[in-house]
Amino acid sequence: MSALNFARQVFNPEKPHSSITDWVDILTVSSIEEEAYDGIPELVESINLQGTTGPAEASRALRKKLKHGNPHQQYRSLVLLKALVENCDDRFHHTFADNQLIDAFRAIAADRNADKRVQKKLKLVLLSWQEQFKSEPSMRHVADLYLIIKDSRRELENALYVPPSKAETGDPKKKKEEAREKERERLRSEEDERKRKKAKTRRQPFNFEQEKPKVLASIAEASQASSNLVNAIILVNPEKESLLTNERVQDCLEIAKQARKAIVRYVQLVENEEVIGVLIETNDRIITALEMYDQAQAALQDKADTKDITSGLAGTRLGGSTGELTRLQDRQRAEVEKAKQTHTPPFEAHPDLQDLDFGASSSKLPPPLRPMNMGDRDDEQGVPGGGSLSDFSDYESSDEDMHNNRAWSRYENKQEYITVSDDSDDAKIGIRRRVEEENPFADPFADQVVVGPSKHL
């Protein structure tokens, strides 16, 4: 059994299968775009890690896709092959173009049923290799691959050649040469155009000293644009027009946006500390102006929406006036108004007592006390002037006579002031009696001075 395996390995050796083949299978699936370059660095790294077997395995995997794959896989194989030639080392350059791969190229170029886009891509790839390696003798075999297209086209033309009629006989060789020259010129022009586009994509390094005038001019323009936008927003009357319909505001807005693009670009490129600070400040000013525009526009929009909602609610009748609930509410209001008009309170409480509420027992309370008149106080218990707070306090019975005497004295004094007499002498006598009663410790000799001589003397 071991001898059989050894013979199989000798006469039919297995091809190496590593991550290179897996990467080729992954990068040629239909979900990847035709000109995508994702995954190519990983494929290049895998080829370099495999050593001497890496280029041969990559060439074999790509050759299988070219011979047996669909048009998308064929196109992707040509893209990958061109990228590997541009990024791999010399070891790959000298070993990838074997006879089997060249046969695959020749089959695609001579196949009348092949996809036209694949054939065109093959021509561009071979032409680029001719331009790249024509000055390197060691890469002559790669540069000469472009001749495959010529040979294949010649074989195809010979197979499809129809002898012309006598009227069309002329110089067929000259016509063929002209056709070949035109095709050569067309391919050359396409390649030049591709190189020109590739050169345009390369950005020149930023030189601050050369670009400094442009940077300062951009800062000035951006500052002016932000100020103009703020002023234009302030001058708009929101009652008459909106920011969207104001031409000056819209013009200033577009200018501010364009100016900010240049400022943002210079912020990413400039490394000077002084200028970068000014650029950041200018960018903040433009952003503030743009935020002011957004806030003003949002405020106007909210105000318009609120006005529409209010007008809509005002024009909408919420519930019918003839409903049962409405009639019941109207009846209750009428009864309440009628009760307020016909109800007469039994007494009028003091304003300080009107807000007091004693609960459910308030109906059983006696009416509040009212202040009494002079006559009512005199008639109360036969004591002139009624009683005071001290009369109801705890005191000895011996004090009752003193209290009664004081009450009678107040009563007499009150009667003397109330009684009006035409006799001035009686008035003087009354005054004298009042003085005697009110001030028992007065000077007895002052009576004649205050009261005057007696009437009978």
- pLDDT of 41-78, one tens digit each? 898 888 888 888 888 888 899 999 988 889 999 999 99
Provide φ and ψ at 112, rounded to 5°.
-75, -25
Residue type, 40: I
Q: How confident is the model at residue 240 (pLDDT cuts 50, 70, 90)?
A: confident
| Domain boundaries 211-310, corresponding CATH code | 1.20.58
In this predicted structure, the answer to whether residue 31 has a pLDDT above a threshold of 70 is: yes
CATH architecture type of domain 2-162+175-200: Alpha Horseshoe (1.25)
- pLDDT of 265-298, one tens digit each? 888 888 888 888 888 899 999 999 999 888 888 8
- pLDDT of 168-222, one tens digit each? 445 677 777 888 888 888 888 888 787 777 665 556 677 778 888 888 888 899 9
Name the least confident of 137-146, 282-291, 410-419: 410-419
* pTM, 2 dp: 0.35
In this predicted structure, the answer to whether residue 348 has a pLDDT above a threshold of 80 is: no
Q: How confident is the model at residue 163 (pLDDT cuts 50, 70, 90)?
A: very low
**What is the arithmetic mean of pLDDT over 342-357?**
58
DSSP 325-374: HHHHHHHHHHHHHHHHHH---SS---TTTTT---GGGGGGSPPPP----H
Helices in 202-272 by DSSP H: which ranges? Answer: 208-235, 247-269
The pLDDT, as a whole number, for residue 79 is: 92
In this predicted structure, the answer to whether residue 224 has a pLDDT above a threshold of 70 is: yes
In the chain, list all ranges with CATH 1.20.58.
211-310
Which carries the bigger pLDDT value, residue 177 or residue 390? 177
The pLDDT, as a whole number, for residue 192 is: 79
Which carries the bigger pLDDT value, residue 176 or residue 124? 124
Which carries the bigger pLDDT value, residue 355 or residue 272? 272
Matching residue, tokens 């009667």: 415
Matching residue, tokens 């509410």: 329
219 contacts: CB under 8 Å, gap ≥ 6 = 263, 278, 279, 282
DSSP 11-40: HSPPPP--HHHHHHHHHTSTTS-TT--TTH
The pLDDT, as a whole number, for residue 138 is: 80
In this predicted structure, the answer to whether residue 386 has a pLDDT above a threshold of 80 is: no
The pLDDT, as a whole number, for residue 429 is: 47
The pLDDT, as a whole number, for residue 208 is: 76
**What is the arithmetic mean of pLDDT over 312-333?**
61
Q: How confident is the model at residue 399 (pLDDT cuts 50, 70, 90)?
A: low
The pLDDT, as a whole number, for residue 362 is: 57
The pLDDT, as a whole number, for residue 169 is: 47
Which carries the bigger pLDDT value, residue 278 or residue 332? 278
Name the least confident of 101-110, 144-153, 268-277, 445-454: 445-454
Which carries the bigger pLDDT value, residue 369 or residue 122? 122
Percent of the chain with pLDDT over 90: 6
32-50: b or e for each residue (b if 16 or more CB lie within 10 Å)? Answer: eeeeeeeebeebbebbeeb
Nearest partner of 414 among 372, 391, 386, 442, judged by Cα: 386
Mean of the per-residue pLDDT values of the chain: 72
In the chain, list all ranges with CATH 1.25.40.90.
2-162+175-200
159 contacts: CB under 8 Å, gap ≥ 6 = none
Which carries the bigger pLDDT value, residue 284 or residue 444? 284
The pLDDT, as a whole number, for residue 330 is: 82
In this predicted structure, the answer to whether residue 114 has a pLDDT above a threshold of 80 is: yes
The pLDDT, as a whole number, for residue 181 is: 83
The pLDDT, as a whole number, for residue 76 is: 92
In this predicted structure, the answer to whether residue 457 has a pLDDT above a threshold of 70 is: no
Going by the DSSP 8-state scheme, the letter that residue 164 receives in this structure is P
